[in-house]
Amino acid sequence: MEHNLLVEKLSLQAESFQEGFEILIKCSNFDEITKNFWHLLRGNFLVTNIHILHKLSFGAEWKIITSQTIEESLDQSLLEHKEHLSIKYITNKKYNAVVVIPLSDSSYLGILVGKKLDGGDLNDFDKITLQILLQVFSSAYNSFLNQKNEKKLIFELNEKILQLNHLIDADIELSRYDKQNVLFDLAIERVVSLTNASSALIKITNTEDGSVERQITFPSNLNQEIIINSPHKIEFAFEFNNKRYLFVLSEKETRKGATSFSDLDKLLLQAISRQVQASIENEFLLGQSLEKERIEKELNLAAAIQQRIIPKELPKIDGYEIAGINIPSKEVGGDYYDCIELTDGKYALIIADVAGKGISAALLVNTLNAALYSYLEFNLPLTDLADKLNKLIFKSSPSDKYITFFIAVLNSKTGDLDILNAGHNPIFLVRNNLELEQVEAGGIGLGMLDFGIPYEGKKLTLEVGEKLFLYTDGIPEAMNINEEEYSDERMIEFLKNNSEKKPANFIALIVSDVKNHVGAAQQSDDITSLFLKRIK
């Protein structure tokens, strides 16, 4: 009968237990759960004197969580150190029951149930109710922990998605920047955010002398020593263009303090650092490309200057045939030739070669050309002309620039040649008996020195049938793919075998022969030649 009554009462209470469970699982934190549980216990047992305590682990101290009044004399010794559920019904002045519940997170809940309002002890129904409520609490607490874990998992999942997203964004952003100050600021911000680093450093040192060129810290006013000396740090470095870029992250943050960085953090640091490296390399390559473009423009300009100076057509000289050629190499050189008509049937045949290439060489040729035209009007002796040109070129060129120069003033009526060779290759006069006469006399190249060293001229006569062969070193020094030169010997042999040909033919043939020798190799220097033949 008593048993049936008990079951009937519990059935009536079932709905109340369900409501209690629903209240508890809606709680958002531990304090709220225990507070509501405390109310449930009080309401069910009509007990005001109930204390709930909690300890984080088996060996930890109990802490009072809920109590209607703070009693200094709360006897914690009643709470036995047991690892499993313990309900002890006692009879003393204060308490009816002492409960210890192990919770699923390894913490413990302690409950001291005081006397009922009527001063009585807990009856059988109360004891069963207490056991059910303890079960309700455990279930609600498990649900709370599950929700908490679920939130944590969602947070961690979102954090990973965020890291991936930030990494992709950072890669795109970093690849866009060509200004290094913006690049480093952005990289350091992204990498601390990605890894939860407390601070970071980017240090750029010169690998040749070890000097520090730049250092960027995050936060910006932080002493770099704090980062360098941190017990929790990771580093990554790369070298490029004589600079070492060191990336340091210090103190990975958690809400419980600093911790060591994970392998993932190291990968993230590497990824960001590599992207910075790629951006720096790209910036460098872009700079090189722009420089190359600038040089190409300069070379085109130099080529244009040079081509304007090289005569498009040589003058027709009565009693003579003349032909010339200038084939500039890819890098514009400073070769020059001309045949300038003077007065009284005289002509100046000139060939010259500026040491060096590029726009400065082309400009120097331009200077030589302009000066020549001016000085030749004064009909100066060639030694004086060479002296004046030497002074001019010396003044208007850097120390490493000079011009090898050959001039022959032809009196077309007599075949007399007034010759001066200023440091140029020996010029060949092909006599009618096919003997070659080398013309070397003269002096140093123009602009080489300005010590007043006198130039020396030479006088020769070109008889009918004889030829004068002027060339630059682009012919004998033309190299094939095996770096073998065309050579003086082969050129002389060619000259001997082909000098009877008409000058235009001769020039075309020797160029063809040189090109055959060079083959697939790139033309390394200008090819320039002038060939004069007296025909009557």
Partner 1 sequence: MSTEFNIVSEIYNNTLVMRTDGYINNVAGEKIIAEFSKNFSGSMNKVVMDLGKSKVVNSIGISYLIDIIEKLNESNGKLVFTSLDPTIEKTFNIMGIFQFAQKADSVEAALK
Closest to partner 1 by CB, 219 vs 398, is 219
Give yes or no for residue 199 binding partner 1 (CB under 8 A).
Answer: yes
Please identify, using beta-carbon distances, which residue of 185 and 485 lies nearer to partner 1: 185
81 exposure class (CB count in 10 Å sphere: 0-12, 13-18, 19+): exposed
For 386, 409, 428, the CA distances from 456, given in Å and listed in that order, are 9, 14, 18
CB of residue 145 to partner 1, shortest distance in Å: 16
Give min distance, CB of 163 to partner 1, in A: 9
Nearer Cβ to partner 1 (87/258): 258
Structure tokens at 208: 């040749």
Residue 380 to residue 136: CA distance in whole angstroms: 122
In DSSP notation, 13-28 reads: HHHHHHHHHHHHHT-S
Q: Are the C-beta atoms of 521 and 469 separated by less than 8 Å?
A: no
Shortest Å distance, C-beta 481 to partner 1: 57
Nearest residue to 113 via CA among 128, 135, 136, 91: 91
DSSP three-state, residue 461: strand
- What would the two tokens of residue 439 be? 């013309």
Q: Which residues contact 254 (CB under 8 A, 6 or more apart)?
A: 196
User: Judged by CB under 8 A, which of 84, 255, 316, 536 binds partner 1?
Assistant: 255
* DSSP secondary structure letters along 328-375: --SS--EEEEEEEE-STTEEEEEEEEESS-SHHHHHHHHHHHHHHHHH
Q: CA 33, CA 112: separation in Å to the nearest integer?
A: 17
Q: Does 34 bind partner 1 (CB under 8 A)?
A: no
Closer to partner 1 by CB, 13 or 163: give it: 163
427-430, strands of its sheet edge to edge: 320-327, 527-534, 467-471, 427-430, 436-439
Applying CB under 8 A, which of residues 34, 49, 196, 205 lies at the interface with partner 1? 196
Query: Is-contact 113 99, C-beta < 8 A?
Result: yes
Q: 71, 83, 169, 437: which one contacts partner 1 (CB under 8 A)? A: 169
By beta-carbon proximity to partner 1, the closer residue of 203 and 233 is 233
- Asked if 251 is part of the footprint of partner 1 (rule: CB under 8 A), the reply reads yes
Question: In whole angstroms, what is the distance from residue 431 CA to residue 383 CA?
Answer: 25
3-state secondary structure at position 323: strand
CA atoms of 162 and 174, how far apart (whole Å): 17
Report in angstroms how near the CB of residue 150 gets to partner 1 at its nearest: 13
d(CA 426, CA 4): 136
The one-letter code for the residue type at 266 is K
Q: Which is nearer to partner 1, 269 or 389 (CB)?
A: 269
* Binding flag, residue 36, partner 1 (CB under 8 A): no
Number of chain residues interacting with partner 1 (CB under 8 A): 30
Residue 109-148 contact track with partner 1, rule CB under 8 A, x = bound: ----------------------------------------
Give 26 or 297: the residue with its C-beta nearer to partner 1.
Answer: 26
Does 267 sit near partner 1 (CB under 8 A)?
no
Query: Which residue, 196 or 306, is less far from partner 1 as judged by CB?
Result: 196
Q: Which stretch binds partner 1 (CB under 8 A): 52-60, 192-200, 204-212, 370-378?
A: 192-200
Any bridge partners for residue 312, and if so which?
Answer: none
The answer to whether 112 and 65 are in contact (CB under 8 A) is no
Q: CA distances (Å), 247 to each of 169, 205, 222, in order?
A: 19, 12, 15
Using CB under 8 A, pick the residue from 36, 198, 279, 499 that binds partner 1: 198
150 lines the binding site for partner 1 (CB under 8 A): no
Query: Whose Cβ is closer to partner 1: residue 101's or residue 186's?
Result: 186
Where does this chain touch partner 1 (CB under 8 A) — which range of 118-126, 251-259, 428-436, 508-516?
251-259
Q: Which residues contact 149 (CB under 8 A, 6 or more apart)?
A: none
Only one of the segments 162-170, 280-288, 441-449, 475-483 lies at the binding site for partner 1 (rule: CB under 8 A); that segment is 162-170
Using the rule CB under 8 A, give the single segment among 65-73, 190-198, 410-418, 496-504 that binds partner 1: 190-198
Rounded least distance, CB 23 to partner 1, Å: 15
Q: Should residue 162 be labelled a site residue for partner 1 when binding is judged by CB under 8 A? A: yes
Complex with partner 1: residue 26 or 395, whichever CB lies closer: 26
Q: DSSP assignment, residue 153? A: H
Q: Which is nearer to partner 1, 45 or 218 (CB)?
A: 218
* Spatial separation of the C-alpha atoms in residues 424 and 43, rounded to whole Å: 119
The yes or no reply on residue 275 touching partner 1 (CB under 8 A) is no
Using the rule CB under 8 A, is 159 a contact of partner 1? Answer: yes
Residue 193, interface with partner 1 (CB under 8 A)?
yes
Query: What x-and-dash track marks residues 210-239 binding partner 1 by CB under 8 A?
Result: --------xxxxx---x-------------
Q: Give the footprint of partner 1 on this chain (CB under 8 A).
A: 28, 154-155, 158-159, 161-162, 165-166, 169, 189, 192-193, 195-199, 218-222, 226, 250-251, 253-255, 258
